[in-house]
C-alpha cells in the first residue's frame, strides 16, 4: 500500500481526539469526539474549522508579464470566463475533456500579476500535468508545496477571523486578499464548501497549527471533520468530483451551466475554444439527456450513493441513480442528489429508490436543499 500523506495539522488532529481515515491519499479527520451531527450543527450555528490542506494550490504566472496572457491560456482548458475576472476576485470553474466531461472542478482567483487555483486533492497531480501540457509555453506553473489550507465556515466565521486579520470584515463572497498577520502572510478567499459564509485561508505550513489553535481559542469555533463537511455540502447542493461529477459528466448534465458565462457560449465574443465545446454548447442550447436533481426520500431511510432509481415500483430498468446521499441534520431528514432523464427532472416528480431490495418513494426537488448564506 502507498503510505498516506499527512497535512500540517496532523498532530493537532490527534491532540483534539480526531478519528482519522484515508482520504485522497491523506490521513484526514472524519470526526472529532463531538460527532458528525453536532459538528454539522455547530458549523451552521457558529463556526467550524476544517483542514483542507490536502487540496492542491497552484500558481499560474504569465511568462510575458501580462496577466491577460495567462487568463487567455487558461480559457483554452475551461469553459468559463477567466479574462473577465477582476483583480481580487475568485470564480468557480472546471476542466473539461474532449468529450465534454468534467476532469475536475476548481476555484481560480485573479491576484494581480498571477492566477491562483485551488483544485481537488485526488486530482491535483493530474491537474498540474494537464496545465503544464496545455499552458506550459505561456505560463510558469507551480504547485504550492509549503502552505497549508484551512477553511473557517459559519455565521460567526467573520468575527473569529477578524480578531486575527481585521481586513476580512470588508470582504464579500468570492473576494480574495493577501493579508499580513501574526501568523505570516495569509492568502484568504471568502468562500467555502458548506453553503455558509466563511473563508479559506492559505498559511505557511509551519504556522498552520498555531493559526488553527488561535482560531479554536474562540468559543464559537470548533474543529470539524470530513463527515460533517460532506453533510454540509450535500445540504448546499454542491458537487463532489468523482461522485456527482466525473470525466463522463457534462456541466449541463450536472446542472452547472450557470458557471459558463455568456461570453463563452454560442454567439459570445469568446465562444467555445475549450475541450468538449461542441457537446457542451449544444447541450446548453438543446438540453442534455439527463440532469442532476435533488431527491427527497420519504421516511427516514437514506438513499446513498449508487442507489438505483425507478419510475415505478414494478419497473425492471433503472432510470437513474443516486450520486450522493445521506441525512441532512439541518433539515432533519434524508437527502440525496442523482441523475434522471431530462424529461423527469422536474420538481414534484415521484420516483422510487431501491434500498435493501425495497422500492421506497422519493420526490424530485430543487437545489440547494438549504439556501446559502453567503455575504454578498
The CA distance from 249 to 76, in Å, is 19
- Contact assessment for residue 183 and residue 205, using Cβ atoms and an 8 Å cutoff: no
The CA distance from 373 to 349, in Å, is 28
Q: Is 173 helix (H, G, I), strand (E, B) or coil?
A: coil
What share of the chain in percent tops pLDDT 90?
98
- If you write DSSP's letter for every residue of 181-234 in order, what string do you get? -TTS-EEEES--SSSSSEEEEEEEGGGHHHHHHHHHTSTTEEE--HHHHHHHHH
Q: What pLDDT score was predicted for residue 31?
A: 98
**What fold, for 289-376?**
Elongation Factor Tu (Ef-tu); domain 3 (2.40.30)
The conformational region for residue 134 under phi > 0 = left, psi -120 to 50 = alpha, else beta, is alpha
Give residue-wise pLDDT tens across range 339-352: 999 999 999 999 99
Q: What is the DSSP letter of 113?
A: S
pLDDT of residue 2 exceeding 80: no
User: How many CA atoms are closer than 13 Å to the CA of 252, on its beta-carbon side?
Assistant: 21
Q: What pLDDT score was predicted for residue 63?
A: 98
pLDDT category of residue 75 using cuts at 50, 70 and 90? very high
- Contact assessment for residue 331 and residue 370, using Cβ atoms and an 8 Å cutoff: yes
The CA distance from 235 to 5, in Å, is 29
Q: Compute the average pLDDT of residues 307-311.
A: 97
Q: Compute the average pLDDT of residues 280-305.
A: 97
Q: What pLDDT score was predicted for residue 334?
A: 98
In the chain, which residues fall in CATH 2.40.30.110?
289-376
Q: What pLDDT score was predicted for residue 312?
A: 86
pLDDT of residue 111 exceeding 80: yes
Q: What pLDDT score was predicted for residue 315?
A: 85
Q: What pLDDT score was predicted for residue 313?
A: 78
The CA distance from 275 to 277, in Å, is 6
Q: Compute the average pLDDT of residues 14-39.
A: 98
The CA distance from 90 to 80, in Å, is 12
pLDDT category of residue 122 using cuts at 50, 70 and 90? very high
In total, the chain counts a number of residues equal to: 376
Q: What is the DSSP letter of 119?
A: E
Indicate the Cα dihedral angle 268, 270, 274, 279, nearest 10°: 20
Of the candidate CATH numbers 3.40.1280.10, 3.30.1360.120, 1.10.357.10, 3.40.462.20, the domain formed by 1-287 belongs to 3.30.1360.120
Work out the mean pLDDT of the chain and round it to a whole number. 97
Q: What pLDDT score was predicted for residue 33?
A: 98
- Contact assessment for residue 293 and residue 363, using Cβ atoms and an 8 Å cutoff: no
Q: What pLDDT score was predicted for residue 314?
A: 81
In the chain, which residues fall in CATH 3.30.1360.120?
1-287
pLDDT of residue 1 exceeding 70: no
Full-model pTM = 0.96
Give residue-wise pLDDT tens across range 218-246: 999 999 999 999 999 999 999 999 999 99
- Contact assessment for residue 29 and residue 54, using Cβ atoms and an 8 Å cutoff: no
Cβ neighbours of 16 (radius 10 Å): 19
Amino acid at each position: 500500500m502507498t503510505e498516506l500523506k499527512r497535512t500540517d495539522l496532523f498532530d493537532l488532529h490527534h491532540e483534539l481526539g480526531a478519528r482519522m481515515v484515508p482520504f485522497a491519499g491523506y490521513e484526514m479527520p472524519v470526526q472529532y469526539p463531538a460527532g458528525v451531527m453536532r459538528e454539522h450543527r455547530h458549523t451552521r450555528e457558529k463556526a467550524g474549522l476544517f483542514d483542507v490542506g490536502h487540496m492542491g494550490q497552484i500558481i499560474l504566472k504569465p511568462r510575458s508579464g501580462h496577466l491577460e496572457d495567462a487568463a487567455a491560456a487558461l480559457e483554452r482548458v475551461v469553459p468559463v470566463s477567466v479574462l473577465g475576472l477582476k483583480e481580487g476576485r475568485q470564480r468557480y470553474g472546471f476542466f473539461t475533456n474532449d468529450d465534454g466531461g468534467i476532469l475536475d472542478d476548481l476555484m481560480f482567483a485573479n491576484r494581480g500579476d498571477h492566477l491562483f487555483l485551488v483544485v481537488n486533492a485526488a486530482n491535483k497531480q493530474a491537474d498540474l500535468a494537464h496545465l503544464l501540457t496545455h499552458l506550459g509555453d505561456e505560463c510558469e506553473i507551480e504547485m504550492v508545496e509549503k502552505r497549508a489550507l484551512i477553511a473557517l465556515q459559519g455565521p460567526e466565521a467573520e468575527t473569529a477571523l477578524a480578531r486575527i486579520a481585521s481586513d476580512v470584515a470588508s470582504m464579500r463572497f468570492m473576494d480574495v486578499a493577501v493579508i499580513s498577520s501574526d501568523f505570516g502572510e495569509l492568502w484568504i478567499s471568502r468562500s467555502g464548501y458548506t453553503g455558509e459564509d466563511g473563508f479559506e485561508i492559505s498559511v505557511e505550513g509551519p504556522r498552520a497549527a498555531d493559526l488553527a489553535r488561535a482560531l479554536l481559542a474562540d468559543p464559537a469555533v470548533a474543529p470539524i471533520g470530513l463527515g460533517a463537511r460532506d453533510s454540509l455540502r450535500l445540504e448546499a447542493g454542491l458537487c463532489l468530483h468523482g461522485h456527482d461529477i466525473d470525466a463522463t459528466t457534462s456541466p449541463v448534465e450536472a446542472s452547472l451551466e450557470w458557471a459558463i458565462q455568456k461570453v463563452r457560449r454560442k454567439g459570445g465574443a469568446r465562444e467555445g475554444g475549450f475541450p468538449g465545446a461542441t457537446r457542451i454548447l449544444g447541450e446548453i442550447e438543446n438540453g442534455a439527456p439527463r440532469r442532476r436533481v435533488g431527491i427527497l426520500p420519504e421516511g427516514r431511510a437514506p438513499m446513498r450513493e449508487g442507489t438505483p432509481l425507478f419510475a415505478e415500483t414494478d419497473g425492471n430498468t433503472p432510470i437513474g441513480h443516486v450520486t450522493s446521499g445521506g441525512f441532512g441534520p439541518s433539515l432533519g431528514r434524508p437527502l440525496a442528489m442523482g441523475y434522471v432523464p431530462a424529461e423527469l427532472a422536474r420538481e414534484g416528480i415521484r420516483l422510487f429508490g431501491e434500498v435493501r431490495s425495497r422500492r421506497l418513494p422519493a420526490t424530485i426537488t430543487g437545489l440547494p436543499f438549504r439556501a446559502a448564506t453567503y455575504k454578498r
